[in-house]
Amino acid sequence: MTHQSDHRAYFFKIDTTIKKIRNALQKQLNEAGFDLTVDQWVLTDHIRRQPGVSQNELAELTFKDPPTVTRIVDLLEKKGFVERTAAAGDRRKFNLFLTNKGNELYDKAFPVVAEIRRKGWGDLEETDYQHFVRIMDSIYNNFS
């Protein structure tokens, strides 16, 4: 990697790619009539898979900040998809669960999200995925 111009490009390329994925997913969610943002979906997905998870755990799992999680959970709660329950044995914590409405939403939205994911990966191969993971992890770890 001797050419400076190539070095400059990798930040830009990752940035534009994630924007494109987000836009495509948001557009699909909107067109399918879901009252849900991409990040709200991400939290919903984690709560579904790990019922009772706390907000701090959610922050670690999603690489979001605790204040960001607070606000997204606020919105999900206001929409009636998620409920905060006092955690047994620690009055600082909440356990998060999907409501019935939240579970219904999840069941309907999941196929839409899965389809977008499949579409984005297209006909890239298993070996591509290995390259992809190795390169992304390498960049990530170079900053850790």
Partner DNA sequence: TCATAATTATTGGTCTACTAACAATTGACG
Partner DNA sequence: CGTCAATTGTTAGTAGACCAATAATTATGA
- b/e map of 109-130 (b: 16 or more CB within 10 Å)? beebbeebeeeeeeeeeeeeee
Q: Is the CB of 17 or the CB of 130 nearer to DNA?
A: 17
Asked if residue 31 binds a copy of itself (CB under 8 A), the reply is no
Number of residues that bind a copy of itself (CB under 8 A): 47
Q: Which stretch binds DNA (CB under 7 A): 85-93, 97-105, 107-115, 117-125?
A: 85-93
The entry of a copy of itself, DNA, none near residue 28 (CB within 5 to 8 angstroms by kind) is none
Please state, in angstroms and rounded to a whole number, the distance separating the CA atoms of residues 63 and 66.
9
CB nearer to a copy of itself: pick between 70 and 132: 132
Q: Is 51 in the site for DNA (CB under 7 A)?
A: no
